[in-house]
Each structure stands twice: as structure tokens, then as C-alpha cells.
Amino acid sequence: MRILLVEDDERLSRFIDRGLSEEGHIVVLRADGHDAEDQILFEPYDVVILDLMLPGQSGMEVLRHIRATGVNTPVLILTARDRLEDKVRGLEAGADDYLTKPFQFEELLARLRALARRGQTIAPSVLRFGPLEVDTSRRRATCEGHDLQLTHLEFALLEYMVRHGGQVLSRARLEQHVWGDDYDRGTNVVAVYINYLRKKLNAHGMGKLIETVRGSGYRLRSEL
């Protein structure tokens, strides 16, 4: 899953990030309400974990704003506010689940899985662009019907490019989506993984589907 974690407690944020990453999820971290709202509106996520007490604007305001714009991404509120009225307000504002601190990490994982399954009934799980097909629920990608044996990061990169097929995607945008905040901006990690994808596509004569746009980034073409 691609998860946005909005939490201003740095120690707790690191703990959750480490646990989710070890489970194979991609985690993007935000600690400010305004930054979180911008991120939710800019990028697709499978689930958002949202604290209520945030700098900038509260998690409740973030929730109301994104729901008002039509964003239906599943949202799990994770907060120390454990009063019944707070839970009711959060759910009525558009949250899909509500978990109070302190919590057991296993319960957080179970709730996230349940929300992701619920979200898949809203968004199509099979994405297609040209000869490529990406099944996000089964984590399976094919090219003209041939299975592509992809690593976790290769799959995440191809999925994002298929979602935005035909668009020029900058290196910074790909870094942010696939690697989140957990990468060294001085490396050429995007170019390396683009090369990995090209090699696997080239095994089926489709390596040129990924086009390098000089000075701008990369674009996925629907045909050669």
C-alpha cells in the first residue's frame, strides 16, 4: 500500500514509518495540516493515517476540506482524543475509522488492511495503458499478456506511470511518489529503476515504451 502518515510527533512517526516499511508499504510523511492537505489533493494514496492535533490546521479541518473536494481516499484517524464525542465528530466529518493512542501496532496494521480493501471497491484495481496492465489488488503486471516479474519498487514505479500514462513525469515527482521521504536526493535512483523496468519490458520487445524527455523526466507511451 501507499500510505500517507500525517503525524507531528517525530518519535511516533518514525516508529510507524519503520513498522509499515518493514511490512512492504510505501510511506510518505507529513507533520503539518496544510502540507498534508496539499499532498492528499496532489497524489493518490491507498490510505491516509491522520492525527487530529497538527500545526498549520487541524486534522479535522484537513478531513473536511478533502471530503468537500470529492476525495474518497480511506482515512484512519489516529489520535489521543478518546472521548466519544471526538470519535463521533471524526466519523461524521468523513473518517473511515478511528483509533486512539496508545495502540498496538498489529491492530493498526489490521485496520489499514481493512480500509485498503474497502478502498478497492471504490477505485478500479486493474489499470491499463497501451499493452500494459497493472492489477493493484494482486500486485501483478503484464505486458501484452506476459507476466513482468517486478520487485516492490519496480511495481510501484510502473503503477504510477500507468496511472499517468502519456504524461511527462519529472524525476522529483517520481521520487516523491515511489520513495516518499526515504531516499537520498543526491542519487540517481529514478534513472536506475527506469533502466530496470526498460530491461524487463525489453524482454518482450517493449523497452521503448518508456521515453526519456530531455530536461523534463520520463513518459510512458501507449505504443512504439
In whole angstroms, what is the distance from residue 158 CA to residue 140 CA?
11
Q: Which CATH superfamily is domain 2-120 in?
A: Response regulator (3.40.50.2300)
The residue extents of the domains of the chain are 2-120, 126-220
CATH architecture of 126-220: Orthogonal Bundle (1.10)
What pTM was estimated for this model as a whole?
A: 0.60
pLDDT of residue 120: 56
pLDDT of residue 176: 78
pLDDT of residue 185: 60
pLDDT of residue 105: 95
Residue 124 has pLDDT above 60, yes or no: no
Residue 139 has pLDDT above 90, yes or no: no
C-alpha 22 chain-centroid distance: 16
Within 8 A by CB and 6+ apart from 74, the residues are: 46, 47, 48, 96, 97, 115, 116, 118, 119
User: Beta-carbon neighbour count of residue 209 at 10 Å?
Assistant: 24
pLDDT of residue 1: 82
Compute the average pLDDT of residues 85-114: 93
pLDDT of residue 127: 85
Confidence of residue 117 (pLDDT cuts 50, 70, 90): confident
Compute the average pLDDT of residues 5-28: 92
User: Beta-carbon neighbour count of residue 46 at 10 Å?
Assistant: 20
pLDDT of residue 98: 95
Compute the average pLDDT of residues 184-203: 88
Q: DSSP readout, 146-170? A: EEE---HHHHHHHHHHHHTTTSEE-
Pairing of strands 97-100, 75-79: parallel
Compute the average pLDDT of residues 179-191: 73
Least confident of 13-17, 134-138, 172-176: 134-138
Domains 2-120 and 126-220 share a fold: no
